[in-house]
Chain A
Amino acid sequence: MSAALPSSSLAVQRGVLGAVLLVLCWEGLARGLHLPSYVLPAVSDILAGVWSKRALLSEAAGYTLLEALVGYGLGCLVGIGLAVAITMLPVLRTVILPAATAINAVPVVGYSPLILLWFGIGVVSKMVMVAMAVSFTVFLSTLAGLDRVDRRAVDLMRSFGAGRLSILWRLRLPTALPLLLAGMRVSTVRSVIIAIITEMLGAYGGLGWVIYQAVLQIDFVQVWSAIFVASAASLSFFGLIGLLERKILFWK
């Protein structure tokens, strides 16, 4: 945690300094060497591009975020549900775990052509893709968390007559929560990226579609503008879930 979210003020200052230096170098390089925009547009040009295309970009970002959020929610539900099911009925483990691993053997982006054929090029195919990518990560981290429970604590609760459900609810889920939420936090960035990748193969709108169109029109300021917006969207989604995580895990 310490490296990603530096806590001391010195670390924050250095982080800001690094970002400022990067922007200055970028701007200086692009302006000083008169780099053509297809090589590297200046940061100021990109920000101007974001502002001038704000209507288009915000609509596209909304479209992509809708796909990412719905898919993310679905994926989390499926992932957590499967992990809980396996913990409640250990018999399922021998079926679900190999199946999940086999499905995951293909890199998830490999499925996007197939999913596009099955679900069409509307929003549904992107939601399915995001859900697939998210559910696997959340499933594995939830399972790791649920399995981490101290055997003796389970035995203790059982000796007081607690059933499986109450052990799950009062012991296993709270124990699993840190890992589960960490898995959910990692998945946020992935969900936006997967939505954008799938949009590129075929969509009616969204950031991926904007990027692809801009590439075809050789409008690289717009490519970079869309990248900036996508990056900002991912970061705010990441920050939101991170904030939720700190609220829920108040004891950490």
Chain B
Amino acid sequence: MSIGSTASLVEDKAAAGLRPGRLPGWMRKTARLLLGLAVTALLWEGSVQLFGIRPAYLPRLSAILAAMAATPRAYLDGFLRTLAETLIGFAAGGAFGVLIGIAFFRLRALREMIFPIFVVSQTIPVIAFGALVVLWFGNTLLAKAVIAFYLTFFPVTVNTLLGLETVDPKLVALMKSFGASNRQLLLRLQLPTALPHIFVALRLASSLSLVGAIVGEWFGDTTGIGVLLLQAMYTENVVALWGALLAAALLGTGFYAVVAAAERRLVFWSAEQ
């Protein structure tokens, strides 16, 4: 539990920094976001010019964007491929995490037997695990999704369990006294109470599943952001490397923002943020 709960705390702060303030109207938010991006772009372009930073370290933003525009096909294909791997791994890991979290909550013996193994499984370097997964599943989209799944399920399990344990026992007793079944108890009280915690983990998992997908692609593939990164490294093409990094950043923040938006819709009562 210790690993996940702190991670969620950390993630909370990251979200606070990432998300534009709670201003009325999505247009103001978008405007602020665009302004921030424009300022960053100007600073990047300006400082490279001003300090004469060598392109081997940091190329000009315009050069990177031009390189991306010259071969849009490779970046688009890579983006979509990595997106698919990330989404499948994330969905599977999220669902598995919530289900196992509920099972652990219901069956204490099961939890005490298996939870330590889960903790140890997280110390296995994903790269080593990835080598085996690619061997088991072949060099397929599925293999990458499995790696993303492996990184995703643990924080979700931990936070589901944590959230379910915050349920007020008096409320459970009250609902039971009105004859609520176990299923009603779960759907109407326990899961809604746990939902804020689950979403904290899902936000963390959104970043982790992308890591899994990218690392998975390093075992040999032909399309994907991870492939672009490796190819750029082998050819020492720093401009292409930064292009792949920008694509990864776009995918990462975009996915994160979608999960955070879903959270705001579904956990509308949460005072957090």
Q: A110 near B248 (CB under 8 angstroms)?
A: yes
Q: DSSP class of A's interface residues: helix, strand, loop or mixed?
A: helix
CB <8 Å contact, B128 and A107: no
Closest chain B CB from A65 CB (angstroms): 13
Q: Report B199 CB to chain A, min CB distance, Å.
A: 18
Of all chain B residues, the one with the shortest Cβ separation from A107 is B211
User: Which stretch in B23-31, B88-96, B172-180, B228-236 binds the other chain?
Assistant: B228-236
Q: Smallest Cβ distance from A232 to chain B, in angstroms?
A: 8
A38 to B138, CA, bound (A): 12
Q: Mark B109-139, 1 if CB is under 8 A from A, else 0.
A: 1011111110110111111110110011000
In the docked arrangement, what's the CA distance between A104 and B210, Å?
A: 13
Query: Are the C-beta atoms of B1 and A98 separated by less than 8 Å?
Result: no
| Chain B count of residues within 8 A CB distance of the other chain | 61
Total chain A interface residues with beta-carbon distance under 8 A: 67
Q: Is A197 in contact with B120, judged by CB distance below 8 angstroms? A: no
- Write out, one digit per residue, whether chain A residues 185-226 have a CB within 8 A of any chain B CB (1) or not (0): 110010011001100110000011001100100001001001
- Contact present for B218 and A201 (CB under 8 Å): yes
Q: Can you list the 9 inter-chain pairs with the closest CB atoms, starting with the nearest?
A: A18-B113, A113-B233, A14-B112, A234-B123, A3-B1, A182-B6, A196-B125, A105-B249, A107-B211
Known: A107-B211, A117-B236, A230-B123. 7 other contacts (CB 8 A): A3-B111, A14-B113, A15-B113, A97-B17, A110-B229, A117-B241, A215-B131
14 chain-A/chain-B pairs, Cβ below 8 angstroms:
A4-B115, A22-B117, A39-B136, A107-B211, A109-B214, A117-B56, A117-B241, A186-B7, A192-B125, A197-B126, A197-B127, A201-B233, A230-B123, A230-B125
What is the interface of chain A, defined by CB distance below 8 A to chain B?
1-6, 10-11, 14-15, 17-19, 21-22, 38-39, 97-98, 100-102, 104-111, 113-114, 116-118, 137, 140-141, 143-144, 179, 182-183, 185-186, 189, 192-193, 196-197, 200-201, 207-208, 211-212, 215, 220, 223, 226-227, 230-231, 234-235, 238, 242
